Structure 1
Amino acid sequence: MSHSSATTPTQPNCGNNPSFRPNPIKPLTPLLLLALLTLLTSCGGGENNVSSGNRSGTLHWGNGTEPQSLDPHIATGVPEHKIIVALMEGLVLKDSKTLEPRPGVATSWDISDDGRVYTFYLRKDARWSNGDPHNAHDYVWSWWRALQPALGNLYAYMYFPIANAKEYYEGQISDFEQVGVKALDDHTLQVTLNNPTPYFLQLLDHYSLYPVHRATIEKFGDADQRGTRWTYEGNLVGNGAFQLSEWKINRRVVVERNPHYWDAESIKLNKIIFYPIENAVTVERMFRAGQLHYSGTVPADKIATYRERKDPSLHIAPYLGVYFYRINTRIPQLQDKRVRRALGMTIDRDKISQRILKGGQIPAYTITPPGTMGYYPKSDLAFDPEAARQLLADAGYPNGEGFPATEILYNTSEGHRKIAVAIQQMWKKHLNIDVKLLNQEWKVYLNSVTSLDYEIGRAGWIGDYVDPNNFLDMFLCNGGNNRTSWCNPEYDQLILKAAPEAKTHAERLAIFERAETMLLDAMPVIPIYIYTSNNLVNASVKNFNDNILNQPSFKEMYLEAGPADAGAKN
């Protein structure tokens, strides 16, 4: 999934909340925001959010940015993911430590001997958050909706392992009955795949395959209509452990325990307040001031301080994700792959990791993080300014002469800005080309890259499931998350046909390596570093488990009051 951050919260309301209005509220400056949060959060005494939250069962969560959408068939980002997984649930869950499949809406499942047919047995006590029965027919309708081209689901390709899903989405067949998903009865769902798919159960815990409430969607518009009011405060009906109670644009999203959830009795949190905080310095100060239980952002220059004092609040863990730059291959000066490779060969990744990031990030020379399901892709990409200058000269720009000023787009974040500035300087030093920087707020940035209204764009991809396919199927021709306009039918054939039909795991990994070699040779994307997850977690938060997808399990978490209520020490 794409990854980023961008917006600000205000203090929680203490009285009655007005109904939602979709009008943006002017964000507060970080300093004013911090002052208000510190002074006004308790509406009475001087108690901070962490202390009061521990007593009331309210988790205060720094979420990184204002969500683009809470529609699981439209959202694409990590901040959206965190909220959606609280509100909705798939057939299968992931174990919060091992990521192994666990029962969700489905209590169990059978897999045919040939690995192609999955039969899921759904809970008879499953309910939507408004109390409606929740059954197998909801999945058939929801997956039909997700495959409507007019909806613009950028994750539509996640359905393509299912028999005839790709053909239906692309209009080659018009009868959804031919797609391999059937409700055998109210509580039995059968899914037929094109080929055995090792990661299929993992897919079912990704929000793009979550069910949606048909009556609610149809109440506010057509099934394939984007941006209707069905996800607004007071309207959204989900099937998860929590339900949406408040959404104030640029301020907070509040979810409360869902009494109709099948496992409601085991849920210990009463409420989660998600704050869209873009500024890393602000969110870290708020954490130390006891206004947040959690921050997924730590300023690079603070990491060493936390490490030196062995502060248990700091959680650094391996993270299945890659930070990279997309290149719009339609831009005239970027159409020649020699230019793109020259750009990739003049980024000093070691310097970026050690001097800017400082959080254990690993320089990346491939798009797929090494070690994913035993996959270690080869790469000839290296920091080699001399060879890069020759490539640029061969492309018609000796010593950068005649190369048009080119723009790096990034979503608003101090961390992204520092990396862009460093790369801007590297390209000037080694290639003598001029690069301008442009930052945009998260939603605007997403629109720009999706519509190819950019030249070079910052990007990140966090694994949705643990398999190399999740990184490589991004770059299929016309893939919703490709966003580079690069297209290679031979690459598509390897990913969509050869790999799924491979007889052994080793053969499948060899096919992926061939495909990734093609991608790196053409270089429509420039890998920069492999992520680590850097979180700040208050000691009162229990059952927060680090995992390589950095996915929280809110249904398992609870709060326990203690001496750490005031946050980390200064």
Structure 2
Amino acid sequence: MRKWWMLNVTVVVLLTLLLSGCAGFSSSEEEKSSNEEVSSLNLALESDIPDLNQTKSTDGTSFTILNNVLEGLYRLDKDNKPQPAMAESVDISEDALTYTFHLREGIKWSNGEPVTAADFKYAWLKTLDPDTASEYAFIIAQFVKGAAEYNAGEADESAVAVDAPDDKTLVVTLNQPTPFFLDLTTFVTYFPLNQKFVEEVGYDKYALTADSILYNGPYVLTSYDQGTGVSLEKNKEYWDRENVAVDKVNLDVIKEASTALNLYDSGKLDKVYLQSSDVNSYKDKEGYGTETMFRTYFTQVNLQEKPFDNEKIRQAFQLAFDPKILTDTILNNGSLPGTGVVPSGISGNSSSTYREIAGDIFTPDPAKAKELLEEGIKESGELPPIELLASDDSVSKDTATFLQSEFKKNLGVDVSIVTKPFSGRLEAMREGDFMIAVNRWGADYNDPMTFIYEWFGQPASASRGYFEDSKYQELVLAAQKETDVDKRIDLFIEAEKILIDKGIVGPLYFDGRAFMINPKVKGLELPPGGSLELKYVTIEK
């Protein structure tokens, strides 16, 4: 969502900026005169880059890069409203089920070939293809008519209601009215793919290197290494290139917040996120600010791993920590204590946000946690050694250490911490290779469904702990069809309570960040969805 995106995946991007002034000249920018300065930014990602194949990507780090080198039918503007991008306009039928997109003239891929309606159809069908096994196929399948059936292998691709009658026209029919569908078209999974290019490179090799991707967004990649980062350069074929101000961008992987802060203090970085221990020292200085995002951090248990196959033990570990201690004393960065799965700010009805309507669904209770643990042990036997999985960035490691301390203090249980690079943690969870993990999810679009849907579906997802519940399934399906806003919210609340009551997730916090930024850098405000938008960044001279 976006952009209202998350990060699953959720996702989080740590941005740091280096204002390099007269950084040299861009050979690819033919419109630059020989005496004109080339603007350049150096940014940092807090995690490695899992996957730039848009049909399979699930994480916020990859989404951030893809959002700037590719573009969909619509693009979110500075106010996070969808505006025409590859599409010049759209006609929506009276029943709000059929969208006819009209592509603009002059849109090209970075190799000069035109972007066509067939490129969108090919990309969407490739994502939905059961052989692709895309975890994000759902974001198309749950909305586009016939897409779920094709994705499940119950119909062929002709069942998918996406048609490209000519190069400039794309017709899409939905299952039900979806007021945020234009927002969805700004999301990475809805971006186009050039079939000829993909097949020439080979799908299994597509997006493994900078030259094995074809670009239609504001930037192109000039270098790409999964573990160290990427370099971007303004795309000379982009239709709106005159409104892209920054010529070059480098995004380097910097996992430790302390390293970034040292670079900031030495004058080499123009934006840096602060650890809690540094906030009080910087909060009164020029350039200090905070950002809030539509992203929730939570504990995720694996129901197929003992002892978390026992509901009382799951509940014990869920209730044994106090999110307010974490946000106030460990993070201290504007994050809010987790009171449910859906974060603060997500839309509800015309007058209130979802969280305002739903209230606090989760409340910690260490005393109750201890009782439940004892009861659970009587039912299932003594606890095995317990491992807590977390990513190896500073925030995730601090969160894991906090949980380790809370479990020892409130449950008397020793828990060991296992850290992996972000992509490694994702892979471990996809394979079900975890007991309990620090996880997160960011909004793909501004609606509660983007969070509630994560625990929906059959077969049950390993990364969601193999949770499967018939009542939960019924509630999500009902919410998909419900057109009454208030009734729909009630369905979401009931579903959210199932996740909490059964101990499936333990809300940690709604993500916020404290930062320092050079005032010369403008337009770098991180959208609530958490996906960086470089197109609108400018640098004052």
* Partners of 1:197 and 1:500 within 8 A in 2: no
* Partners of 1:8 and 1:251 within 8 A in 2: no
1:285 matched residue in structure 2? 262
Most deviating of 532-541 and 268-277: 532-541
1:408 matched residue in structure 2? 388
1:213 matched residue in structure 2? 194
1:203 matched residue in structure 2? 184
RMSD between superposed Cα atoms in Å:
2.4
1:556 maps to 2:526: no
Match 2:413 to one of 433, 447, 453: 433
Match 2:274 to one of 298, 301, 305: 298
1:102 maps to 2:83: yes
> In 2, Cα distance between the equivalents of 1:212 and 1:288?
42
Deviation at 1:247, TM superposition (A): 1.7
* Partners of 1:300 and 1:358 within 8 A in 2: yes
1:76 maps to 2:58: yes
* Partners of 1:6 and 1:276 within 8 A in 2: no
1:419 matched residue in structure 2? 399
Match 1:254 to one of 224, 231, 236: 231
Deviation at 1:150, TM superposition (A): 2.5
> In 2, Cα distance between the equivalents of 1:7 and 1:533?
9
DSSP-derived class of the 2:296 partner: strand
Match 2:20 to one of 46, 50, 67: 50
Residues 456 and 115 of structure 1: CA distance in aligned 2, closer, same or farther (over 3 Å): same
* Partners of 1:122 and 1:135 within 8 A in 2: yes
1:63 matched residue in structure 2? 45
Deviation at 1:129, TM superposition (A): 0.8
DSSP-derived class of the 1:131 partner: coil
> In 2, Cα distance between the equivalents of 1:244 and 1:518?
43
Query: What do the CA deviations read for 1:33-91 (whole angstroms, capped 9, x no partner)?
Result: xxxx9xxxxxxxxxx85344595211111122221121112222222122111100111
Query: What do the CA deviations read for 1:306-359 (whole angstroms, capped 9, x no partner)?
Result: 2123x21x3312211111111111012101121111111111111111110001
Residues 51 and 287 of structure 1: CA distance in aligned 2, closer, same or farther (over 3 Å): farther
Where in structure 1 are there 5+ consecutive unaligned residues?
A: 10-36, 38-47, 562-570
DSSP-derived class of the 1:149 partner: coil
Deviation at 1:553, TM superposition (A): 2.5
2:215 matched residue in structure 1? 238
2:29 matched residue in structure 1? none
DSSP-derived class of the 1:151 partner: coil
Match 2:298 to one of 302, 305, 324: 324
Deviation at 1:371, TM superposition (A): 4.1
> In 2, Cα distance between the equivalents of 1:7 and 1:101?
24
Match 1:507 to one of 487, 496, 502: 487
Residues 102 and 129 of structure 1: CA distance in aligned 2, closer, same or farther (over 3 Å): same
Where in structure 2 are there 5+ consecutive unaligned residues?
A: 1-6, 25-36, 349-353
DSSP-derived class of the 1:334 partner: coil
Match 1:275 to one of 232, 252, 259: 252
Residues 51 and 102 of structure 1: CA distance in aligned 2, closer, same or farther (over 3 Å): same
1:353 maps to 2:323: no
* Partners of 1:92 and 1:205 within 8 A in 2: yes
1:181 matched residue in structure 2? 162
> In 1, Cα distance between the equivalents of 2:446 and 2:153?
30
Query: What do the CA deviations read for 1:215-249 (whole angstroms, capped 9, x no partner)?
Result: 22111224xx4xx1444122321110111111245
Residues 250 and 381 of structure 1: CA distance in aligned 2, closer, same or farther (over 3 Å): closer
Most deviating of 480-489 and 145-154: 480-489
Match 1:460 to one of 420, 425, 440: 440
> In 1, Cα distance between the equivalents of 2:197 and 2:454?
31
2:95 matched residue in structure 1? 114
DSSP-derived class of the 1:391 partner: helix
DSSP-derived class of the 1:218 partner: helix
Residues 480 and 136 of structure 1: CA distance in aligned 2, closer, same or farther (over 3 Å): farther
1:518 matched residue in structure 2? 498
Deviation at 1:390, TM superposition (A): 1.8
**1:98-177 correspondence runs (5 A):** 99-159=80-140, 160-174=142-156, 176-177=157-158
Residues 423 and 483 of structure 1: CA distance in aligned 2, closer, same or farther (over 3 Å): same
1:471 maps to 2:451: yes
> In 2, Cα distance between the equivalents of 1:178 and 1:156?
15
How many aligned positions are there?
A: 513
2:339 matched residue in structure 1? 365
Most deviating of 507-516 and 401-410: 401-410
> In 2, Cα distance between the equivalents of 1:65 and 1:449?
16
2:375 matched residue in structure 1? 394
> In 2, Cα distance between the equivalents of 1:504 and 1:462?
25
> In 1, Cα distance between the equivalents of 2:342 and 2:537?
31
Deviation at 1:538, TM superposition (A): 2.3
> In 2, Cα distance between the equivalents of 1:164 and 1:479?
21
Most deviating of 228-237 and 116-125: 228-237
Deviation at 1:394, TM superposition (A): 2.1
> In 2, Cα distance between the equivalents of 1:530 and 1:165?
32
Residues 539 and 151 of structure 1: CA distance in aligned 2, closer, same or farther (over 3 Å): same
> In 1, Cα distance between the equivalents of 2:470 and 2:447?
22
TM-score by length of 2: 0.90
2:4 matched residue in structure 1? none
1:498 matched residue in structure 2? 478
Match 1:89 to one of 71, 76, 80: 71
> In 1, Cα distance between the equivalents of 2:300 and 2:116?
41
> In 2, Cα distance between the equivalents of 1:479 and 1:240?
35
Deviation at 1:401, TM superposition (A): 7.9
Deviation at 1:149, TM superposition (A): 2.3
DSSP-derived class of the 1:333 partner: coil
2:351 matched residue in structure 1? none
* Partners of 1:8 and 1:65 within 8 A in 2: no
1:339 maps to 2:313: yes
Residues 7 and 94 of structure 1: CA distance in aligned 2, closer, same or farther (over 3 Å): closer
DSSP-derived class of the 1:73 partner: coil
2:508 matched residue in structure 1? 528
DSSP-derived class of the 1:331 partner: coil
1:565 matched residue in structure 2? none
> In 1, Cα distance between the equivalents of 2:461 and 2:515?
29
* Partners of 1:119 and 1:188 within 8 A in 2: yes
